Structure 1
């Protein structure tokens, strides 16, 4: 059965492996979004809005810790795999060291959570849910997406991801029927993800001939040092975009968290749009920038204004259909969720504003500017969100998220102007 799936003739229609990689990454993201949308009404109906909020709050903490588990390897490891594709011994050492490093980081993250819960008595109200969610850290640590991305063989991991999410959805239907069972929601997501990932590791070992060696701690230490800035940048970006729910948890009750998390989940799905656009146009933009800057600026402007129009359309549709969206997902009338969603509806459009700046930084390899912009954005978001949330609750954190998208656009503009003015003149004038 597995071999038949791998022999599906998609590659005959799309020969370019980079395009295949992008399409399979899009399939993975789309399946995650689809399962998330399907599971929301089921969870709200079975465990209630307040427990749904706590489950999502625990999930936000775990995803934040997963940034530490990933530690930039999602960007650096595919390159190492691609370089050593034809050298099985070197490739085996890369695979062994990356998995060892990620499992070590997952263990450290687990220890931090356990100390915070049982030693410092933090995360009150959802401690048990959070502890049961720890398995998701090891699911992330064993996810071999970076390996298949470097090998340019994304079909299998895409199929495995979809299968994992379907198992999770089946688990919700079969086993989650009351608020007391909310602790098992994230546990099942981690359990099924870990099970599928271990199956992929078996495939990597026996069918691709990759050996698992003892970890080279010197090489691991070196890679951790090299990925440190990538880790900090990823952490700051995550906090800026997804930290609203965590900040709101300090000021609001579980029911408010549930109503806000419902609106936030919808918006985070839509916010993937500008990120996918950047991934899609980056290879061609980089090629044009190297060969012909005038064509690069023309290409980027054409894409930019079309994407802005589409982003405005998405935001407009979301704003006006907010009551319908909340009604469908929650199967009930939640006025506060509608208000949150209508405020956050502007996020997709505002996130599109910064696409050109990010692409220009990437093609010129100005990663230091991206790092500075991400941390300035993070600091702004934490301060403003804390103040506004303490004053206005869920509406305050929604306004903070909106303003953060505007501020990061302005920050990137200023950084580009100060460090590489030809981009500002070439694109905006």
Structure 2
């Protein structure tokens, strides 16, 4: 009966690799969302709104530097792992080189922070919080998510992520009870992540029989050169999406930062949804693009329609429920945070608009086009956000972030049309 209706049994759907990737990635993001929601009221009650804003500001700086630590390996390394799934020697060299590179980059990022804090006297309001946050850099460096993605064994890493977040939450409940302890918040997040990552590496070595070799510096240098465009694209995307809080810190007081951070945390968690979709469909989309372009376009259109409908539903729900969401998270009525959340609520829908453009650029290996689009979007965001934030503070920043998503969609469409009209017309016509 199901076959006659053109539907697949649930068991067949779950066995689909794209669905499995999405489900396990969704599990990771869902646990992040849940722990973030639970931890926000605990942190606000424990350290206050102003310190909460500074903790988030320090976290924004760390996540920016984590783009350097990742250096595009989240896009290139899973493909290399997938190609060499059955070759343990190749996997051992790949794992050793990638982890060695990321740890060296984490050390470089830590050095830059220390120079900025103690040498240049930067980050004055939150310098101590930022120094204690550097453990997050090494947590990112040792995260083997890319390896498990390539091996198509996402179940273990999704469970490990949940344990990491629960460990962090337990640390907040037990130890964070006053503003003076705010410097330990990001430290505990980094410690819990690093601890779980070490267990995952032990599993990779013991049960998957992957060896850790001395790094090959020629291979490291070659991979860095190959990933440089991915790195700069990721850097530009991060600045465009998450750089608003840093810009706001130049014009607003700590309390305003806290109010905005609360609303931004909710929206940016939802903002992860489009990238989650792209990661989930990318392997299957790549295969379809190489074997049957028409099936690729049909597949992408079907995903796009469903994602847009979901985006409209969630954006509307967030707008209507904004007062309740802020009240639950902060245990108080913060009208300024409610206003920011309502202004930012369309962001999930707007960020979904660009999913087909990004997917087409990735499957067609248009790295230079993605690089160009990312930096054009970044430049627009920095200029417009700086002007509007200076004039209207938090409200201006909200409008600039929304407009950045619209401009990014237009930029990608125009560049794709000019560079690869066959690909453009194949999807949009």
Measured against the shorter chain, the TM-score band is over 0.9
Structure 1 residue 293 displacement after superposition: 4.2
Shift of 1:154: 1.9
Q: Secondary structure at 1:336's aligned position in 2? A: helix
What is the 5 A alignment of 1:145-294? Answer: 145-294=145-294
Pair 1:93–1:357, CA change in 2 (3 A): closer
1:344 CA displacement: 0.6
**More deviation in 384-393 or 141-150?**
141-150
Determine helix, strand or coil for the equivalent of 1:227: helix
Question: Deviation string for 1:168-210 (max 9, x for gaps)?
Answer: 0000000000111100000000111111111222222223222
Give 3-state SS (helix, strand or coil) of 1:85's partner: coil
Kindly indicate whether residue 329 of structure 2 is the aligned counterpart of residue 332 of structure 1: no
Cα deviations across residues 285-324 of structure 1 (Å, max 9, x unaligned)?
4444445544544443343333323212211111121111
Distance 2:306 2:15 in 1: 27
Which region of structure 1 is more displaced relative to structure 2, 236-245 or 306-315?
Answer: 306-315
Name the structure 2 match of 1:99. Answer: 99
Distance in 1 separating the partners of 2:421 and 2:96: 44
How far apart in 2 are the matches of 1:38 and 1:243?
24
Aligned equivalents of 1:324 and 1:390: distance in 2?
Answer: 29
CA 1:280–1:224: 2 relative to 1, 3 Å:
closer
- Structure 1 residues 337 and 219, CA, compared in 2 at 3 Å: closer, same or farther? same
Listed as ranges, the matches of 1:51-90 within 5 Å are 51-90=51-90
The CA deviation at 1:42 is: 0.7
Q: Quick one: structure 1 residues 285 and 106, their matched pair in 2 at CA, closer, same or farther if it must change by over 3 Å?
A: closer
CA contact (8 A) 2:71 2:228 kept: yes
Matching residue of 2:134: 134
Contact 2:22 2:277 in 1 (8 A): no
Q: 1:92 to 1:274 in 2, by over 3 A?
A: closer
Counterpart of 1:21 in structure 2 is: 21
- Aligned partners of 2:82 and 2:151 also within 8 Å: yes
Q: Would the alpha carbon gap of residues 19 and 353 (structure 1) be closer, same or farther in structure 2, given more than 3 Å must change? A: closer
Shift of residue 104, structure 1, vs aligned partner: 0.3
In the alignment, the residues of structure 2 paired with residue 244 and residue 221 of structure 1 have an alpha-carbon distance, to the nearest angstrom, of 33
C-alpha contact 2:229 2:367 (8 A) present in aligned 1: no
Q: State the alpha-carbon separation in 2 of the partners of residues 200 and 168 from structure 1.
A: 17
Normalising to structure 2: TM-score of the pair? 0.93
Shift of 1:90: 2.5
3-state SS of 1:125 partner: helix
Mapped partners of 1:103, 1:424: distance in 2: 39
Q: Distance in 2 between matches of 1:109 and 1:55?
A: 18
What is the aligned partner in structure 2 of residue 30 from structure 1? 30
Pair 1:314 & 2:314 matched = yes
- Provide the C-alpha distance between the structure 2 equivalents of 1:35 and 1:209, rounded to a whole number of angstroms: 33
User: Would you say 1:377 and 2:414 are equivalent positions?
Assistant: no
Which runs of 5 or more structure 1 residues have no equivalent in the other structure? 1-10
SS of equivalent to 1:251: coil
Structure 1 partner of 2:3: none
Equivalent position SS for 2:124: coil
Whole-angstrom distance in 2 between the partners of 1:157 and 1:104: 23
Superposed CA deviations along residues 130-156 of structure 1, whole A, max 9, x for unmatched, are 000001111111111122222222222
Of 27-36 and 305-314, deviating more is 305-314
Shift of 1:248: 0.6
**Distance change >3 Å, CA 328–CA 202, structure 1 → 2:** same
Shift of the alpha carbon at 1:72? 1.1
Match of 1:116 in 2: 116
Distance 1:366 1:73 in 2: 16
Distance 1:229 1:75 in 2: 11
Task: Measure how far apart 1:84 and its partner are.
Answer: 2.9
Per the alignment, do residues 92 and 138 of structure 1 end up closer, same or farther by CA in structure 2, a change over 3 Å counting? same
Aligned residues: 419
In the alignment, structure 2 segments of 5+ residues that lack a partner are: 1-10
Alpha-carbon contact 2:308-2:349 (below 8 Å) kept: yes
Give 1:6's aligned residue: none
Assess if the C-alpha contact under 8 Å between 2:78 and 2:150 holds in 1.
yes
Following TM superposition, by how much is the alpha carbon of 1:17 offset from its aligned partner in structure 2, in angstroms? 4.5
Offset of 1:21 from its aligned partner? 3.2
Aligned to 1:355: 355
Please tell me whether the aligned partners of residues 351 and 405 of structure 2 are also in contact (alpha carbons under 8 angstroms).
yes
Change (3 A) 1:285 1:88: closer
Match of 1:344 in 2: 344
TM-score after normalising by structure 1: 0.93
